[in-house]
Amino acid sequence: MNRRIAVLVFPGTNSEGETLRLLRDLGADAQLVHWSRPQELAAYGAYVLPGGFAYEDRIRAGAIAAHDHLMDAVIDGCAKGKLVLGICNGAQILLEAGLVPGTAAARRPTAAFTHNAPQPHFICRHVYVKLASAPMRSAITASLDEGALIPAWAAHAQGRLAAGPEHLAELVEGAHVAFVYAHPDGRVDEQAVPNGSALGCAGLVNREGNVLALMPHPERDAWNVNHLQRRVGEALFAPSGGAVLFESFVRAVQRA
């Protein structure tokens, strides 16, 4: 049983530090694996693709990284049932690699996270994402409560889900929309969506449920020190808030 987690680092990745620390704080055996060492990935049981600007987001965010040799191992691992979590740029890479929603062959994407709307500007704001599928739809979300509300930071210029009408219908019918944007009280409507994302989508899961792509960063609101309101006596660096998603992921890896 392989419980080791690889945090992938592409040229331009910039969120690997907090991602690695959070995984370790939650008890995971996690290591960084750089783009120069793709041959090492086969020895890991799960993968996390963190945020950043891989290959400077040239062509499209995630488009070049999706063809990096690191992704050869991730695609192979996905086919073998390994768990894969992508955050922000990592989510974009997973869509460009066709692993999510995974309704076509690898590297044949049927959806993308593309330029924000109505203005194609970079946004940086605190958001909430709500679990929109049954927790057991994905092993990665299996430890979450029904309709779990998770705090995170949206920090992207290309976070809007876009797909053709037939593929959007496919996403709905196949329960691929794992998370939607929500208000702090859990309400879901268009006003909660910061980037014009189709279906209000913040995260997608593949058919088999072993790959999850989430646009906002829960790891940036994942310790008590990150929260504006803290109770007296709480340990500043205790995991909380957005850590709940990573905790569910770590539990899934440990159960695998």
Mean pLDDT of 187-204: 98
67 has a pLDDT exceeding 80: yes
pLDDT of residue 119: 87
Q: Is pTM, for the whole model, over 0.85?
A: yes
Mean pLDDT of 63-73: 97
Interacting residues of 233 by C-beta distance below 8 A, sequence separation 6+: none
Beta carbons of 223 and 239 less than 8 angstroms apart: yes
Average pLDDT for the chain: 96
Burial tier of 218 (Cβ tally within 10 Å: 0-12, 13-18, 19+): buried
Burial tier of 101 (Cβ tally within 10 Å: 0-12, 13-18, 19+): buried
Mean pLDDT of 16-21: 98
Beta carbons of 229 and 221 less than 8 angstroms apart: no
Distance (Å, rounded) from C-alpha 35 to C-alpha 37? 5
Cα 187 to the center of its chain, rounded Å: 22
Beta carbons of 23 and 48 less than 8 angstroms apart: yes
205 has a pLDDT exceeding 80: yes
* Positions marked active-site: 88, 217, 219
Determine which of 74-83, 148-157, 234-243 has the lowest per-residue pLDDT on average.
234-243
23-40 b/e (C-beta count within 10 Å ≥ 16 → b): bebbebbbeebebeebee
Distance (Å, rounded) from C-alpha 74 to C-alpha 76? 5
At residue 99, φ and ψ (nearest 5 deg) are -75, -25
pLDDT of residue 94: 98
The CA-atom distances, in angstroms, between 208 and each of 79, 138, 153, 211 are: 9, 8, 27, 8
Radius of gyration of the chain measured on its C-alpha atoms = 17
Distance (Å, rounded) from C-alpha 255 to C-alpha 91? 23
List domains and CATH numbers for the chain: 4-255 (3.40.50.880)
DSSP-derived 3-state class of residue 256: coil
- Grade residue 234 by pLDDT with cuts at 50, 70 and 90: confident
State pLDDT tens for residues 105-125.
999 999 999 999 998 999 999
pLDDT of residue 232: 66
Interacting residues of 195 by C-beta distance below 8 A, sequence separation 6+: 116, 117, 123, 154, 156, 159, 160
pLDDT of residue 1: 63
Tokens of 251: 């539990």
Tell me which of 232 and 34 has the higher pLDDT: 34
Tokens of 241: 């808030």
DSSP-derived 3-state class of residue 71: helix
pLDDT of residue 61: 96
233 has a pLDDT exceeding 80: no
Tokens of 44: 């890991």
20 has a pLDDT exceeding 70: yes
Q: What percent of the chain has pLDDT over 90?
A: 93
pLDDT of residue 231: 67
At residue 88, φ and ψ (nearest 5 deg) are 55, -110
Q: What percent of the chain has pLDDT over 70?
A: 98
- Grade residue 47 by pLDDT with cuts at 50, 70 and 90: very high
